[in-house]
Structure 1
Amino acid sequence: MTRSWQITTVTDAARARIDTARLAAAYGVPPLERTGLAAALSGRLRRCLTKGGDWRLTARVADGLLALEVLPLSGAGEPVWRTAVPCPEPSDAVVCTGVADDPVLLAEALLGADEDTSLVLDRLAEQEELVGFHREELHQTNQGVLALHAELDAAGRAQREAFSAERAARREAESARRRLTFLADASAALTASLNQEQIVRRLPELLVPEYARTVDVWLFDAEDDRRERAAHPAAAVLAARTGRPRYAAAAPGGLPGIDDHPPSALDPARPMLCVPLATRRAPLGVLTLTPPGERWDPDDAVMLVELTRRASTALDHARRFAHNRDIAETLQRALLTDLPRVPGLRLAARYLPATYGLNIGGDWYDAFRRPDGSLIVVIGDVTGHGLHAAVMMSQLRTALRAYAVDGASPGQLLTRLHVFLHHLQPDLYATAVIARFRPGEPSLTWAAAGHPPPVLRGPDGRVRTLDAKPGAMLGIPLRQEIADHTVPLAPGSTLALYTDGLVERRAQGIDPGIERLAATLGGFRTRELEGDLDGAAERILDPMLSDSERDDDVCLLLCHLDGDTGAAGAAER
């Protein structure tokens, strides 16, 4: 279907527009598309009327499209205007008649155009409402996005703060671990020694240069030995008097547990930390430190005060040890026996303390003559070490000499000592060997109580262990009668009495040590023993004590019976 209209006047344009709208409605063009088509056509027609001249409007329906075309009938240079809208085919025959000057038709066309316009306005209102809804929805979304961004920003800040706090805590923990490790290592180094001078030397070695630039140890008793007393900072003097640490500097230090003090006149430009070396009884001195930098970290200062306290404990232990050691050495010298001179019998003794501790224990030896002319030799060992064992050993030696006056045999003497020790010290025990020599008697009487067996070397160099059944240890809660044992004793024989410190080793036991002693003693010639018994005792100790350290005291007593050197030498050859 094709329709054409010639447009010359505005009336022609209005009629053409009305016919076109009716044609679009007849062919089922939707109202919105129809209104848009009419508005576009009206705009084009107004332009054509403005330009003037004759124009042709053609409407063509084909292939589901309503196509409009406006082209000039006169003149040139104006392009053809075209537009099209989709339209369904009508179900009934479409009859389109031209619009005359009929008022009814014009009114209907006008009302139809208003109806289409109203429908467009309603649809536009709906679209505006939908746009408003989406605008509000978009606003709410934007607000949510802004809130989410704010939360993410706050979470980011919190995370950064948490990371910063974690790093700070990690650094603080690492610093605390470093201080604790240093404090533990330094404490172990200080307490490992019982020598006061060595402890004082170690303090600067430990602290310089990480925690202090200089270290000065002021010991009160050491100053008494000096002819000229050195000058000390006023803060150190005040720390010694009050027992509280002092920080001497131009500005307050703010160090926990440390009192501030004006700068020292000896070195006013440099801060000083003066910490007393305090003990429970009395202060030992003052430790004065200068910082490695401008000042100390508060935690480092707390650690230095704690280290000074531990150094005070180490110095106090060293002083107590030195005091007890002096007492022990004095007591030990007093307890050592001067061996008697007996015609026809040579004696040599050696005592070596353990290589650590108070250098005094319960090992002892004694040799004395009785009124009947016999000689009693004894060697023993009181359990334990220290002053208590030494005092108990002294009491046993005194008791033995008292019991020996009435001529009792070695077994009887040990039995009496057993009863004496059990009643005197029920929780203390001892071992001992007693031997008796009688002038002109070719035999040796001996008895043992829990002690390593004596070793006897004959004049021919053969060595035997006197391992007859001994008694039990002295002092144990057991009633016992300790028996005597007698062996022949030829001139030129040598008896060795000893304590377990000479022969016993933890990894080997005691039997290999006794065998080594017997082999060493058997290696001497008789003339060597008669010529230098003291030297022989030394040569016995050397191979037996090859260890650099001993955890027990060592006691050795040699008794050599003089004989016919020539006969003995011939027997040896």
Structure 2
Amino acid sequence: AAGTGAGALHAVVTSPDAAAAGEPPWQVTVACPEPATDPGDVPVPDDAAGLAEALLGADEDTALVLERLGEQEDLVDFHREELQQTNQGVVALHAELDAAGRAQREAFAAERKARTEAENARRRLTFLADASAVLTASLDHHEIVRRLPELLVPEYAASVDVWLFEQDDGRPGQAHPAAAVVAARTGRAQYAATRPGHLPGVQDQPPSALDPDRPALCIPLPTRQAPQGVVTLSPPGEQWDPDDAVMLVELTRRASIAIDHARRYQHNRDIAETLQRALLTELPSPAGLGLAARYLPATHGLNIGGDWYDAFRQPDGGVITVVGDVTGHGLRAAVMMSQLRTALRAYAVDGGSPGRLLTRLHTFLHHLQPDLFATAVIARFHPDDPTLTWAAAGHPPPVLRTPDGQVRILDDKPGAMLGIPLRQEIADHTVPLAPGSTLALYTDGLVERRAQGIDPGIGRLADALGSFAPAELETDLEGAADGLLDPLLSDSERDDDVCLLLCHLRGPA
């Protein structure tokens, strides 16, 4: 063995046998805590005991070095294990962060999808509500059919065709898709295309022979009994969204209800107008007295009410003219009006002044219909009497135009409404009547406006009546009646019926 300097020990071990075999000596360098001394040329003992003692000393140093090397290796293994665990923790943390990020992205995507679906649902519901309001706002089924395509094109359909079975649309022999015929027969929506649409509540059919390349959604217009028509739509793109298809079916159902109600309303209105016209008889043509009447139903409702006018002769030669108004509208008011008119004619046969006739009508109505009321004004003309006798019961006052163009409102104290639970005797009133005079009897629908009341309307009527030239009233009383209505009714729609009766006492030829 030989020393190599301070802090290290370099040992070389040889044996005779190894040297004879040509093997190199075994060498090792070991760090030492203390500087090693150079043995120099110290000879290695030849005796086994000395050699063993020397080797034993070397082994102790080597054991110490090896022990410290083992401690270092243990420390390295410990740090390696900690590093490995740390790496595994970092990998696990990365995996968790990646999973959390993926879950967050999925949650964001689901939220965006839900928000989009909610927005689309809100948009469809808003459109459905607005479109329903538009369709139900009209009572003309032709107008509803016209508005339906305007609502759907181009957002929900590229084209819309409405086929009403009982409507002559001016296109005789028009062909309809086979799917539309199936929808009409089955009452279920049909989808005709080269590929199935898989739309909710819609049956798939082969493409239409009329236009095979264009899909068609055929939705029936249902009623309580059977479909009244079919709506055929073509998609704005390649195909409808399933939710859009559900909305279109619901909108078509609502449109069908609106069309059905409009048709029923039109039918009932026609009946009501026919009944109303039948109840208003033709005016007589007494000598020396011109008569012109106008009746206009309200622009809302069934166009049937309780307004009426009448004129007839009495046995003594007098002429009774009357304008009345039964409260309310509808068939009941029209029937009551007819009964009052008939009763008045029956009472007038026995004679009697306008006040007496109204008193009898009051008693008649009170006992016949205690919960129904009426107003009326009666004027009596007699060829041998230069006076006008009139009476009113809760009715707007007559307006009299004298031959010189002066206008007077006959607002003497009237009686109360007919039929109220009150015993009353309605008084007569008289006014001188010269040839060329014109009397206007009317109902409140002509002069009353909600925002202004009735008095301004009566004033406008008086001004309009006074604006005519005497020759106009003498030669064209019908034209004068129209001339009175035009300025008074041009400002708004009518919520009430309008009745006007002009009585002109002709002057000398």
Q: TM-score range by the shorter chain?
A: 0.7 to 0.9
SS at match of 1:275: strand
Aligned counterpart in structure 2 of residue 186 of structure 1, from 131, 149, 153: 131
Task: Return closer, same or farther for 1:559/1:356 CA change in 2, 3 Å cut-off.
Answer: same
Counterpart secondary structure, 1:435: strand
Identify the residue that residue 110 of structure 2 maps to in structure 1.
165
Aligned to 1:384: 328
- Residue by residue, what CA displacement relative to the aligned partner does 1:216-274 show, whole Å, maximum 9, x if unpaired? 22221125x87953333332222212211122233322111112223333333333222
Structure with the greater alpha carbon radius of gyration: 1
The aligned residue for residue 352 of structure 2 is 408
Identify which range, 518-527 or 213-222, moves more after superposition. Answer: 518-527
Kindly tell me: are residues 157 and 45 of structure 1, through their superposed partners in 2, closer, same or farther at Cα, counting changes over 3 Å?
A: farther
Match of 1:262 among 185, 188, 206: 206
Going from structure 1 to structure 2, the CA distance change for 1:539 and 1:300 (only over 3 Å counts) comes to: same
1:541 to 462, 478, 485: 485
CA distance in 2, matches of 1:199, 1:290: 20
Corresponding residue for residue 215 of structure 1? 160
Amino acid at match of 1:157: R
Which of these residues, 494, 503, 522, is aligned with residue 447 of structure 2?
Answer: 503
1:150 has 2:95 as partner: yes
Query: For 1:32-71, what per-residue CA distance to the aligned partner results, in whole angstroms no more than 9, with x for missing partners?
Result: xxx97745x43x969xx7xx9xxxxxxxxxxxxxxxxxxx
Structure 1 residue 524, shift from structure 2 partner:
3.3
Q: Note the C-alpha offset of 1:285.
A: 1.4
Query: Partner amino acid for 1:163?
Result: F
The amino acid of 2:102's aligned partner reads R
By how many angstroms is 1:141 displaced?
3.7
CA 1:15–1:560 in 2, change beyond 3 Å: closer, same or farther? closer
Distance change in 2, residues 1:558/1:129 (3 Å): same
What's 1:492 paired with? Answer: 436
Query: Shift in Å at residue 324 of structure 1?
Result: 1.6
**Equivalents in 2 of 1:420, 1:45: separation in Å?**
156
Q: Secondary structure at 2:166's aligned position in 1?
A: helix
- Which of the numbers 283, 286, 290 marks the counterpart of 1:339? 283
- The amino acid that maps onto 2:114 is A
Question: Aligned pair 1:350/2:294, yes or no?
Answer: yes
Distance, in Å, in 1 between the alignment partners of 2:185 and 2:208 is 17
Which residue of 449, 454, 463 maps to 2:393?
449
One-letter amino acid of the counterpart of residue 285, structure 1: G
Gaps of 5+ in 2: 9-29, 42-52
Matching residue's letter, 2:144: I
Superposition pairs for residues 431-470 of structure 1, below 5 Å? 431-470=375-414
Are 2:5 and 2:38, in contact at CA under 8 Å, matched by a contact in 1? no
Q: Deviations over 1:99-127 (max 9, x none)?
A: xxxxxxxx9xx98x998887777776666
CA distance in 2 between counterparts of 1:560 and 1:178 reads 64
The offset of 1:494, in angstroms, is 2.2
Shift of 1:345: 1.9
Residue identity over aligned pairs, in percent, reads 77
Q: Matched residue pairs, number?
A: 480
Indicate whether 1:520 and 2:471 are aligned: no
Q: Residue type matched to 1:391 in 2?
A: V
CA positional deviation for 1:15: 12
Q: Secondary structure at the match of 1:185?
A: helix
Task: Provide the rounded CA distance (Å) in 2 between the counterparts of 1:243 and 1:375.
Answer: 62
> Which one is further off, 519-528 or 213-222?
519-528
Q: CA-atom RMSD, angstroms?
A: 3.4
Corresponding residue of 1:235: 179
**TM-score for the superposition, normalised by structure 2:** 0.83
Residue 330 of structure 1 deviates from its aligned partner by 1.6
Q: Report if aligned partners of 2:436, 2:504 keep a CA contact under 8 Å in 1.
A: yes
Give the letter for the 2:313 counterpart: R
- The CA distance in 2 between the partners of 1:476 and 1:145, in whole Å, is 97
In structure 1, runs of 5+ residues without a counterpart are: 1-9, 19-34, 53-106, 566-573
Shift of 1:145: 2.8
Measure how far apart 1:432 and its partner are. 1.2
- What is the SS of the residue equivalent to 1:338? coil
User: Cα distance, 1:511 vs. partner?
Assistant: 0.9
> CA distance change for structure 1 residues 497 and 277 in 2, over 3 Å: closer, same or farther?
same
Judging changes above 3 Å, is the alpha-carbon distance between structure 1 residues 520 and 288 closer, same or farther for their aligned structure 2 residues? closer
Q: Aligned pair in 2 of structure 1 residues 463, 226: CA closer, same or farther (>3 Å)? A: closer
SS in 1 for 2:417: coil
Q: Displacement of 1:556 after TM fit?
A: 1.4
Asked if the contact 2:7/2:32 (under 8 Å) is kept, the reply is: no
Is the contact made by 2:7 and 2:31 (CA closer than 8 Å) also made in structure 1? Answer: no
Amino acid of the structure 2 residue aligned with 1:304: L
| Shift of residue 184, structure 1, vs aligned partner | 2.5
1:364 CA displacement? 1.4
Tell me the secondary structure at the aligned position of residue 442 of structure 1.
Answer: strand
TM-score normalized with structure 1 length: 0.74
Equivalent position amino acid for 1:241 in 2: R
Residue identity matched to 2:183:
A
| Cα deviation code 1:359-414 (max 9, x no counterpart) | 33322111111112211111112223344433332222222212222113222322
- Bigger mean CA offset, 328-337 vs 501-510: 328-337
1:326-360 deviations in Å (ceiling 9; x for gaps): 21232232233322112222222222233344333
C-alpha separation between the residues in 2 aligned to 1:116 and 1:480? 147
Report the CA distance between 1:468 and its aligned residue.
Answer: 2.1
Distance in 2 (alpha carbons) for counterparts of 1:292 and 1:252: 17
Question: Residues 116 and 422 from structure 1, CA distance in 2 versus in 1: closer, same or farther, beyond 3 angstroms?
Answer: farther
Specify the alignment match of 2:319 in structure 1: 375
SS of 1:436's partner is strand
Cα distance in 2 for partners of 1:466, 1:274 equals 65
Partner Cα distance (1:376, 1:508) in 2: 32
Cα shift at 1:563 = 3.9
Compared CA separation, residues 218 and 563, structure 1 to 2 (3 A): closer
